[in-house]
Amino acid sequence: MTLLDGKAVAEKIKKELKEKIKNEPRKPILTVILVESEESIPSKIYVRNKIKAAKEIGIDVNVIEIPETIQEDELIDFIGAYNERLYLTDGLIVQLPLPKHINEHKVLNSINPRLDVDGFHVENAGLTLANKESMKPCTAYGIMRLLEAYNIDVTGKKVKIINRSMIVGKPLASLMMNNNATVTILHSKSENLKEECLTADILVTGVGIPNFIKRDYIKKGAIVIDVAINRDYSGFKPKICGDVDFKNVRPQTSFITPVPGGVGPMTVAMLMEQTYKAYLKNK
């Protein structure tokens, strides 16, 4: 069993980016919009990680915290001001989730696709699906790059993804198919989930339930990728954990991601890389 060390791979990517940015005439700029709400408490931690990574490599981050009371049209107007003034920023992301009264789809699609370093705009989503040059959703892209870093070729492999979101499951299915994998998307309505998982060569899980994936879900020698970031309150101190019963599943696998230190740092590294890419087009 080998750990897929996302933290180490992300560090290498960030180091290479830092070297490139050092030689640029100005720093790339990333704007992060964080709309405050009860659900945005974990978002603040994710945003903090993005700020830390950006600072390390020489990207300027402009975090805009907006009160929960903002209306959808006001938020869209606010984003519009950046869309029209490309000298203000190279990349713009809206941290998700948004408060319930705001339609995420409308907001994400109001971002100029050139600024869309999260790859969530339908134009970028469509280009990703079509296997064309695009900004790619960072978590899905980060998983592909993590596998690539370990020389894992997905060609012909049975890849099962338990997540059907626009952020993870759907774009990951596209990227996997574009790399010749045989892909199945599974979700809460899927029948025979355990049996499906048992035939996976590569199992990707993003469910949000600690210990959801147990040893008897995993074929001997499978690769397991855990996208979830859950809080486990069962012990004395709350801990971050994924969906996988890591201790028991680990011996059954050929490769496995830890949580934390697996997919999470790769997501951040991809955001940095795409911000640099957007900067190169905008400079």
Q: Site residues (CB under 6 A) for ligand GUN?
A: 93-96, 118, 138-139, 167, 267
Judged by beta carbon, residue 96 or residue 202, the one nearer ligand GUN is 96
Q: Which member of 90, 116, 118, 201 is catalytic?
A: 118
Judged by beta carbon, residue 139 or residue 205, the one nearer ligand GUN is 139
For 10, other C-beta atoms within 10 Å of its C-beta total 26
Cβ 108 to ligand GUN shortest distance, Å: 8
> Active site includes 153?
no
Cβ 119 to ligand GUN shortest distance, Å: 9
Cβ 42 to ligand GUN shortest distance, Å: 8
The answer to whether the beta carbons of residues 54 and 272 sit under 8 Å apart is yes
CA-CA distance, 176 to 5, in Å (whole number)?
Answer: 20
CA-CA distance, 180 to 72, in Å (whole number)?
Answer: 40
Residue with the closest Cβ to ligand GUN? 96
Judged by beta carbon, residue 118 or residue 201, the one nearer ligand GUN is 118
Which DSSP symbol is given to 192? S
Judged by beta carbon, residue 94 or residue 278, the one nearer ligand GUN is 94
| CA 71 distance to own-chain centroid | 26
Cβ 211 to ligand GUN shortest distance, Å: 21
Paired tokens of 17? 């980016």
> Active site includes 77?
no
The answer to whether the beta carbons of residues 170 and 180 sit under 8 Å apart is no
Q: Which member of 14, 90, 95, 136 is catalytic?
A: 95
The answer to whether the beta carbons of residues 90 and 26 sit under 8 Å apart is no
Nearest Cα neighbor of 78 from 101, 111, 51, 104 is: 111
Judged by beta carbon, residue 163 or residue 252, the one nearer ligand GUN is 163
Tokens 């025979």 correspond to 192
CA-CA distance, 15 to 6, in Å (whole number)?
Answer: 14
Three-state SS at 121: coil
Cβ 271 to ligand GUN shortest distance, Å: 7
> Active site includes 118?
yes
Q: Of all residues in the chain, what percent are helix, strand and coil, respectively (each to 5)?
A: 40, 20, 40
Active site positions, annotated: 50, 95, 118
